[in-house]
Structure 1
Amino acid sequence: EVSNEDIDFILPDSDIDPVPDSPVSVHNDLIWTERQMKVKQAFKHAWDGYVRDAWGADEYHPISHSGSNLSRSGIGFTIVDSLDTLLIMDLKDEYEHARNWVANSLNFDIDGEVNVFETTIRVLGGLLSAYHLSGNDTLYLTKAVDLGDRLLGAFSSPSGIPYASVNLATREGIVAHFNGGASSTSEATTLQLEFKYLSYISDNYVYWDKSQNIMLAIDDLKKYDGLGVKTHLIDRSHPSGLLYIGELSGFGDDNISPKMDHLVCFMGGNLVLGATRGRKVHDIQEDMSDNDLEDLDIGKELTKTCAEIYFSTNTGLAPEIAYFSTSEDATTDIIIKPLDSHNLLRPETVESLFILWRLTGDVQYRHVFIPNYYCLPDKSSYRITFILSGTFEKYARVDEGGYTSLDDVTVVPPERRDKMETFWLVIKFSFLS
């Protein structure tokens, strides 16, 4: 059980928060303290289930009270990935338990294949975040250097773009088992932050050079339209005109499919970060270029669309993939197909809402996650729902511990899948806390 005394990580309000006539303005401090307590309790519920049933395993299956590994022996994806959240939430006992496991049990000498992208962002990234947030605990630096050295084997391709997988024991890069062995450019170019920060704190610039070579290889490729998302992929739905980012059909033509994965919902916050360079909008708006202002508007509209996807379902949860109506006589904007209706507890919408709240100061982005019982009858236009305690708590929570992915967000109650992704404990709670 978590008491109010445990809550000591309150985020500062923006200069514009709360907005006039907000339904929570009178009791703002009390509400946000209570909200943080609920977030911390939810994390504890998930973490305690994992500790009891699956300690040391990469992934947690809360319904069957079991764990599983992503490689032959596992490298503690869930534990390492959660270190920063434990530190942010000041869960001292839980953090010490996790740190002791890293010190005594974490071993990367695994004769098995791991995905380079997932291992970098979750395990290497988890170690680096823990190093920073712990005040430079050298345990994490030592482990990060060990893992980084093993991952370097994936960079031995002729192009410098890393192979999709690597054997951590032999340090041999392994080509992808699909797409003709091709590596994903989005995965490869995402490795910059971890490898460059590892160079910075270890004073060994081999990691920097290897990750920078990826960017040089990409820069050398023929460019058809630069960042052509705005030109080719953005469209609006009918009848409400929701902005979405579609997909190329992939069949060698220029047809755009009105399909948007939940993963795309990170893009709203990403565009706003790029437009503002991470600074508050009201501090720099007069100096923003036309392109920056356009990106800001697109980021806001895309984030609104992602929230509307949640609002559109019977459960109040978003599917993995949504389609948008393109016919002018359509009566509903969002279409959910049976094979796409599952929910994996993804964090991208929360991420964008958090970024937009912090950079625009507009409290509406924060209010999307306020408990709906704070919404007054005469303030229904605020469209308030609290996805953590209102819907994920209702449908994804496993009473004995943990949260689980769901089969179909259009059905009440949805069937449960018995898998809790590590990003539920990490990214989702980091932004909600």
Structure 2
Amino acid sequence: MSFKHPPINPSLSPRPLDNNYWRASQSPGPRLGGYGLSQSAGVSSNLNTVFSGDRALPMYTYKDKPYFAPRRTGPRSRQSKILYGGICLFFLVSLWYYVSGRDSPELSTKAPTDAQRGHELWTWVQSLENEPKYEGVAQKNIDWAARREKVRDTFIVSWDGYEDVAWGLDEYKPISKTGKNMVEGGMGWMIVDALDTLMIMNLTSRVQHARSWIQNSLRYDQNHDVSTFETTIRMLGGLLSAHHLSTTYPNLAPVSGDDDLYIEKATDLAERLLGAFDSKSGIPYASVNLKKSAGLPAHSDNGASSTAEATSVQLEFKYLANLTGEAEYWRAVEKVMEVVDDQKVPDGLVPIYIYPNDGSFRGQNIRLGSRGDSYYEYLIKQYLQTSQQEPVYKEMWDEALMGIRKHLVTYTKRARLTVVGERPSGLENPLAPKMDHLVCFLPGTIALGATGGIPLSQAKKSPNWSQRQDEEMLLAKELMKTCWATYLVTKTGLAPEISYFRLDQPPFMMHDVYPESTAATGNRKSEQQDLPSVSETLYPPGDERPAYEYDIDIHAQDKHNLQRPETVESLFYMYRITGDETYRHWGWEMFKSFVRHTAVAEKDTDGSSHIVGFTSLSNINDVSAVTRDNMESFWMAETLKYFYLLFSDRDFISLEENVFNTEAHPLPRFRPVGDLTTGWTRKSRQPESTPPQ
């Protein structure tokens, strides 16, 4: 999940040349913000068939803590050996890095320059119009490794464009070739967020460059308020993931330097973020001043925090607690979950705002889009992160998923697309037929919850497998089709920010289909039954337009595309879990649409062109690609990472060993010990009995 932060500060000076640039501002500043269907030729006609208070900061440094025992890739003697050799290697790598045009990790192989790679990518984009028509999973002998390399090339062009003109800045505009910081001094937004993607793609020289910048320039003592949530999932999560990958997968982009760099930076940041949790209830404030480690309530919404934001910082702080033995991190985020659950919301569905002062909810708006989504995502992921040692989160996930099926799942009028609607005025009031693109995290998360991340064929052999998991997997598949359909209905092949759907009146709900199913009771044990499928109703007899085109309504204000990752994220999970190549094919078509319509190209002196970057779109139904001149950090941190993993072998950064946070940063599964345990129990959900008269 990713929220777009609004522009804040005016453009600052170009890339700084010394560390003084990173001195903290002495005046407070604004926070980090919260946040085309006829298909183009050659896509629609061929893809349709697939639908069958201030806190004092510690005065010691991280290494001063006696319990610190970092995980290393080699013996400690390595530290002394790299003092001289590492310095020499760094300068040699840096020299080679710039002279060679940023080659691949192998010194003996010269990589293309930025312009060459951009030219090759542009030539490939132009050839897409002549590509053989898509024939679904019937295609044979597909070179997925080659397709993965196309994603890698796209990432390199995106990264190098940013590096050339906006290095160290938080925002990047690839058309105007400008950048700016979100707060004075910057946050390392682009570099830290994309660092683990660099590692996963084995881009060694670029990792070395990014690491050197982090070591020498990155500071988190700015006298500004920043988003507690965004800073946690992107910056803290990015640093922790870099530590995890560099120590667990030492052959991925190996570089020289202090093994403890990322964990030390993460710990400094976490200590500052803890001030956000110093509310009366323990619910974190929406913002925090990093220099003072002081939480600040939101300026809007009567000071309420976003429920999703308050409950989507647990994976990061729990992993840090496991690394350091510092139970304070663990207790702070566990307390949040206790306060939320103590509200005893009906059927596990939480309103999207919560007050830090007393932990009560604001309003009754129930949705799985913005401000609601990752609450549900982090329920099942907390359970998996701690190796199923915290069953309370599995219980909360199961309850919430049943509530989703009971109150929010409905079907479109003609194609019977499965939709997760919203209840803006509470569960007893009308359903709104609206889905943010953010909701498309859900298919993959449902599949992850049903199987625990292991292959479906293996999971179904478990004695604990039941009808309920079968229904969950079917629901995941149907929701995946709906998310895919929002790409098919546009002229660019890219989904809008929000989609609306045409429903029956009254809406046809899941519990109308199977009133005795687990969606309503949670305990049905009967014969195998499928959920309503779009496969038989996609093409009404004698109608030239596919049925789903009639069902999806895109409003003018929602036609933009911000390069969001949620649909490809779910495709990644669905492929890894089911093994169905269909999801890879859908992902490939999506990837081609991104490259074709969001590329920023420049003319060469010889009249040819080369791609220099990628940008958000203003209108997904305008094939002339009206752009927004902005490349989101999650384009590199999430979207391209998930494409790369989708086209990789399923054992690469496996789901069995890793849990991805809501910004796509992989963190390890572990078994908590000592004080790192669930420090609370759920209150009874049984209604209190009435005393006899």
| TM-score, normalised by the number of residues in structure 1 | 0.89
Deviation string 1:184-205 (CA, Å, 9 cap, x unpaired) is 1111111110000001111211
Aligned AA (2:489): S
Aligned AA (2:619): D
Q: 1:310 to 1:196 in 2, by over 3 A?
A: same
Which structure 2 residues correspond to residues 331-346 of structure 1 after superposition, within 5 A?
332-346=550-564
Is the CA contact 1:83–1:95 (under 8 Å) kept in the aligned structure 2?
yes
Q: CA deviation at 1:23?
A: 4.0
Q: CA deviation at 1:252?
A: 8.9
Alignment of 1:387 with 2:590, yes or no, is yes
Alignment of 1:182 with 2:310, yes or no, is no
Among 309, 314, 328, which residue is 2:486 paired with? 309
SS in 1 for 2:618: coil
Q: CA deviation at 1:208?
A: 0.6
* Alignment partners' CA distance in 2, 1:350 and 1:337: 23
Alignment of 1:429 with 2:606, yes or no, is no
* Alignment partners' CA distance in 1, 2:478 and 2:104: 38
Q: CA deviation at 1:4?
A: 12
* Alignment partners' CA distance in 2, 1:106 and 1:3: 25
Number of the residue aligned with 1:240:
415
* Alignment partners' CA distance in 1, 2:267 and 2:215: 14
Number of the residue aligned with 2:229:
117
Is the CA contact 1:141–1:202 (under 8 Å) kept in the aligned structure 2?
no
SS in 1 for 2:226: strand
Alignment of 1:280 with 2:462, yes or no, is no
More helix by share: 1
* Alignment partners' CA distance in 1, 2:162 and 2:330: 35
Deviation string 1:94-119 (CA, Å, 9 cap, x unpaired) is 11000000000000010001101100
Is the CA contact 1:4–1:33 (under 8 Å) kept in the aligned structure 2?
no
* Alignment partners' CA distance in 1, 2:487 and 2:336: 36
* Alignment partners' CA distance in 1, 2:561 and 2:439: 14
* Alignment partners' CA distance in 2, 1:255 and 1:290: 30
RMSD: 2.1
Among 145, 151, 173, which residue is 2:267 paired with? 145
Q: 1:397 to 1:21 in 2, by over 3 A?
A: closer
* Alignment partners' CA distance in 1, 2:278 and 2:406: 36
Q: Which runs of 5+ in 2 are unaligned?
A: 1-100, 110-134, 249-258, 349-399, 506-539, 541-546, 603-611, 645-693
Aligned AA (2:473): L
Q: CA deviation at 1:327?
A: 4.4
Q: CA deviation at 1:68?
A: 2.1
Is the CA contact 1:3–1:37 (under 8 Å) kept in the aligned structure 2?
no
Q: CA deviation at 1:250?
A: 3.4
Number of the residue aligned with 1:127:
239
Number of the residue aligned with 2:150:
38
Among 322, 340, 343, which residue is 1:221 paired with? 343
Aligned AA (1:344): L
Among 623, 630, 634, which residue is 1:419 paired with? 630
Is the CA contact 2:571–2:587 (under 8 Å) kept in the aligned structure 1?
no
Number of the residue aligned with 1:63:
175
SS in 2 for 1:294: helix
Residues matched between the structures, number: 401
Number of the residue aligned with 1:377:
none
Aligned AA (1:402): G
Q: Which runs of 5+ in 1 are unaligned?
A: 7-19, 371-385
Number of the residue aligned with 2:25:
none
Alignment of 1:264 with 2:482, yes or no, is no
Which structure 2 residues correspond to residues 196-215 of structure 1 after superposition, within 5 A?
196-215=318-337
Aligned AA (1:171): S
SS in 1 for 2:344: coil
* Alignment partners' CA distance in 2, 1:368 and 1:213: 41
Q: Which has the larger radius of gyration?
A: 2
Among 575, 600, 605, which residue is 1:357 paired with? 575
Is the CA contact 1:111–1:169 (under 8 Å) kept in the aligned structure 2?
yes
SS in 1 for 2:247: coil
Number of the residue aligned with 2:522:
none
Number of the residue aligned with 1:405:
616
* Alignment partners' CA distance in 2, 1:21 and 1:391: 17
* Alignment partners' CA distance in 2, 1:74 and 1:116: 15
* Alignment partners' CA distance in 1, 2:240 and 2:152: 23
Q: CA deviation at 1:53?
A: 1.4
Q: CA deviation at 1:58?
A: 1.1
